[in-house]
Amino acid sequence: MEKKLFEEKISSQIIFEGEIVNLYFDKVKLPNNRVATREKVTHPGAVGIVPVTRNNEIILIRQFRYPVGDVLIEIPAGKLGKGEPPYECAKRELEEEIGAVGGTLINICTFYTSPGFCNEILYLYLALDFEEKENSLDEDEFLQVFRVKLGDSLDMIKSGTIKDAKTIIGILMARDYIGNL
């Protein structure tokens, strides 16, 4: 840690404790010894999985996202359960959301979604050689599963049809990994 950049916590006030996020309003000491405020959202972390079939198709999901008020196209994903390792979470979400079991899961990237105000970390996996069975959604989970050619998913990024960060990174990194888009 470089001292010239570091911000030291002076105080921390919890504003909200939710099911998904907590919100804190903190005071910090800047490198010039002045005091500043920081709004910090904490999140349990999440996984996203790029499922690529033996036919080089990627399995995607359409889902309503209340915060943005729109149906987005995304890779299968989900929040980490308490103490749940990312790899186990990825296996669970793959089976629940698209019915994919077995095969190989490869961690292709790990990143922060928006580190200016939030600590959410996202573990991205590439899923290969899985078997496809029935999915098993929660009663209150609504989504549509569909598939496109890997090359078409890249066009969907370039045209703005896909506009979810983890999905964009997943497809671009999977392309580099598989090397045949």
Q: Please list every residue from 24 through 43 that binds a copy of itself, using CB under 8 A.
A: 25-26, 28, 30-32, 34, 36-43
Q: How far is the CB of 158 from a copy of itself (least distance, A)?
A: 8
Residues 97 and 43: their CA atoms lie apart, in Å, by 21
| Residues binding a copy of itself: number (CB under 8 A) | 73
Q: Does 62 bind a copy of itself (CB under 8 A)?
A: yes
SS3 assignment, position 91: helix
134 labelled catalytic: no
What does DSSP say about strands 22-29 and 35-42: parallel, antiparallel, or unpaired? antiparallel
Q: Is the CB of 130 or the CB of 154 nearer to a copy of itself?
A: 154
Q: Which of residues 82-141 bind a copy of itself (CB under 8 A)?
A: 109-122, 139-140
Question: DSSP letters of 16-63?
Answer: EE-SS-EEEEEEEE-TTS-EEEEEEEE---EEEEEEB-TTSEEEEEEE
Q: Which residues are catalytic?
A: 139
